[in-house]
């Protein structure tokens, strides 16, 4: 075994804090082959180390390492795992940054087939590579997705509380039953802080350099992940940054492929391709119409940055005032998306799923626009903590 990798593992494990864990931790039950998938910065490495420290610390058969270590420039994963298996008796392997190791999915398949008594848990920062590799391993791999923090998770950590999650259908069926959420001390102050700096859990590690670290995540995705996966010229990569800055500066209703292309002075087809790339790497999200049809599926009705923290960070760096309407809508979409609910653009309201309509607005917004809806319709209000039959405070959606 490489002594540096062994020392690194021991050091990281000793420094791993168990005082607070992501909500996925309690559901995390690795099988023989497990993939932990999620965007950069959401805590995948920490979750793996916490799992070892709390669940397996007394079990010397576990080992954690990163596949981007210099050691693997001259050695194979197959050889390394085989040595740990034979010489150290290891049976549970946690492999981080696996997408940076060439041919990783084929070697994982070989390990899975050759060692029926081991477990492999792997992760990485490139969603593209892991999704593609997981297709090749689809019959074997168990997939877990780790998103950024919800408002509930952020509040639980900040206040050392244990607020339970709620179901979307229950919230919509009887909003007044959750009125106690508005009685949480200083909940509005916490909500505004979350909107600005709450999505990535490293806010609790280095709050003073938080936005700088968020910008570094963006740069790593653009200048490392994207060129490693797509056949793109290096001198075109700056266009991805320009697109993100443009999206941060104008309301989503004014964004479409054509006006981005005009602003960038780039062909619409190229911009469409670049937007698809940005969505696949977790930097933006595109909202499509609920109505079917292949033409509509190719044309997003609204385009947002991926999460509220990215919006705040980019606005901070480009010096543009933040659009409150954009922030409201993005928070709502983020809350539903990260709790695995599909959301679509609606021609009658702002958004809908197959069962409900949603109109988003401030505290003075009226229900007139959705009053004639055949579907159950809800007004989602910012700047209020009072729930009514068809009126729900925006921040409540951070608990679903």
pLDDT digits (tens, 9 = 90+) for 107-145: 999 999 999 999 999 997 666 666 666 666 767 888 899
Window from 176-185, 372-381, 384-393 with minimum mean pLDDT: 372-381
Same domain, 216 and 80: no
Question: How buried is residue 353: exposed, middle or buried, by Cβ count under 10 Å (0-12/13-18/19+)?
Answer: middle
pLDDT score of 293 more than 80? no
Cα(210)–Cα(194) distance, integer angstroms: 13
Mean pLDDT throughout 342-357?
90
Q: Residue 16 is part of which domain span?
A: 3-145
Cα(35)–Cα(123) distance, integer angstroms: 6
Cα(346)–Cα(330) distance, integer angstroms: 15
| Nearest residue to 290 (alpha-carbon basis) of 254, 360, 325, 342 | 342
pLDDT at 1: 64
pLDDT score of 187 more than 80? yes
Mean pLDDT throughout 338-359?
91
Same domain, 122 and 158: no
pLDDT at 98: 87
Cα 67 to the center of its chain, rounded Å: 22
* pLDDT one-digit tens code per residue, 210-225: 999 999 999 999 998 8
What CATH number is attached to the domain comprising 25? 3.40.50.300
What CATH number is attached to the domain comprising 288? 1.10.10.10
Mean pLDDT throughout 371-396?
90
Same domain, 325 and 229: yes
As for how many domains the chain has, the answer is 2
| Nearest residue to 356 (alpha-carbon basis) of 400, 300, 326 | 400
Mean pLDDT throughout 18-23?
91
Window from 35-39, 229-233, 324-328 with minimum mean pLDDT: 229-233
Q: What is the largest CA-CA distance in the chain?
A: 71
* pLDDT one-digit tens code per residue, 237-292: 999 999 999 999 888 777 888 889 988 889 999 999 999 899 888 899 999 988 76
Mean pLDDT throughout 299-310?
92
pLDDT at 139: 75
Final residue before a domain boundary, out of 76, 110, 145: 145
Same domain, 92 and 120: yes
Final residue before a domain boundary, out of 145, 168, 195: 145
pLDDT score of 295 more than 50? no
Contact 272, 284 (CB under 8 A): no
* pLDDT one-digit tens code per residue, 141-165: 888 999 999 999 999 999 989 999 9
Same domain, 251 and 136: no
Same domain, 338 and 234: yes
**How high does pLDDT run on average in the chain?**
89
Same domain, 241 and 383: yes
Same domain, 246 and 386: yes
Final residue before a domain boundary, out of 96, 128, 145: 145
Q: What would you report as the CA-atom Rg of the chain, rounded to the nearest whole angstrom?
A: 23
Cα(277)–Cα(284) distance, integer angstroms: 9
Cα(160)–Cα(165) distance, integer angstroms: 15
Question: How buried is residue 13: exposed, middle or buried, by Cβ count under 10 Å (0-12/13-18/19+)?
Answer: middle
Same domain, 392 and 264: yes
Mean pLDDT throughout 317-328?
88
Residues 6+ apart with CB under 8 A from 244: 218, 278, 283, 284, 305, 310, 314
Same domain, 130 and 200: no
pLDDT at 378: 94
Using a pLDDT cut of 70, give the percent of the chain over it: 94
Same domain, 158 and 295: yes
Banded model confidence at residue 366, pLDDT cuts 50, 70, 90: confident
pLDDT at 251: 82
* pLDDT one-digit tens code per residue, 75-105: 999 999 999 999 999 999 999 988 888 888 8
Same domain, 38 and 164: no
Mean pLDDT throughout 168-172?
95
pLDDT score of 68 more than 90? no
Mean pLDDT throughout 27-44?
92
């Amino acid at each position: 075994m490489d002594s540096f990798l062994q020392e690194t593992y021991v050091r990281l494990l000793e420094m791993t804090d168990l005082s607070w864990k992501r909500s996925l931790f309690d559901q995390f039950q690795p099988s023989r082959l497990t993939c932990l998938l999620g965007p950069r910065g959401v805590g995948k490495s920490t979750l793996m180390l916490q799992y070892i420290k709390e669940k397996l610390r007394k079990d010397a058969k576990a080992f954690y390492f990163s596949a981007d270590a210099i050691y693997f420039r001259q050695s194979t994963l197959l050889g390394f795992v085989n040595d740990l298996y034979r010489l150290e008796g290891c049976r549970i392997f946690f492999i981080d940054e696996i997408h940076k190791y060439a041919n990783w999915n084929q070697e994982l398949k070989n390990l899975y087939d050759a060692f029926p008594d081991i477990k492999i848990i792997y992760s990485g920062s490139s969603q593209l590579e892991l999704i593609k590799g997981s297709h090749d391993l689809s019959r074997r791999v168990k997939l877990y997705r780790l998103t950024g923090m919800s408002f509930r998770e952020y509040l639980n950590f900040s206040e050392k509380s244990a607020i339970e999650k709620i179901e979307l259908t229950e919230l919509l069926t009887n909003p007044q039953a959750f009125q106690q959420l508005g009685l949480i001390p200083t909940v509005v102050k916490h909500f505004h802080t979350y909107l600005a700096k709450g999505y990535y859990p490293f806010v609790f590690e280095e709050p003073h350099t938080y936005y700088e670290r968020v910008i570094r995540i963006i740069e790593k995705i653009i200048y490392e992940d994207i060129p490693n996966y797509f056949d793109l010229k290096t001198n075109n990569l700056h266009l991805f940054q320009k697109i993100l800055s443009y999206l941060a500066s104008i309301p989503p209703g004014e964004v479409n492929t054509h006006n981005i292309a005009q602003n960038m002075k780039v062909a619409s087809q190229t911009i469409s391709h670049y937007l698809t790339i940005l969505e696949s790497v977790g930097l933006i999200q595109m909202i499509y119409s609920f109505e079917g049809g292949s033409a509509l599926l190719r044309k997003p009705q609204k385009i947002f940055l991926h999460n509220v923290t990215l919006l705040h960070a980019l606005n901070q760096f480009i010096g543009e005032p933040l659009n409150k309407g954009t922030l409201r809508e993005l928070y709502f979409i983020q809350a539903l998306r990260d709790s695995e609910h599909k959301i679509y653009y609606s021609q009658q309201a702002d958004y809908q799923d197959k069962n409900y309509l949603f109109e988003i607005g401030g505290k003075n917004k009226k229900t007139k626009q959705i009053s004639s809806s055949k579907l159950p319709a809800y007004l989602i209000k910012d700047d209020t903590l009072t729930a009514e039959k068809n009126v729900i405070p925006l921040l409540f959606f951070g608990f679903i």
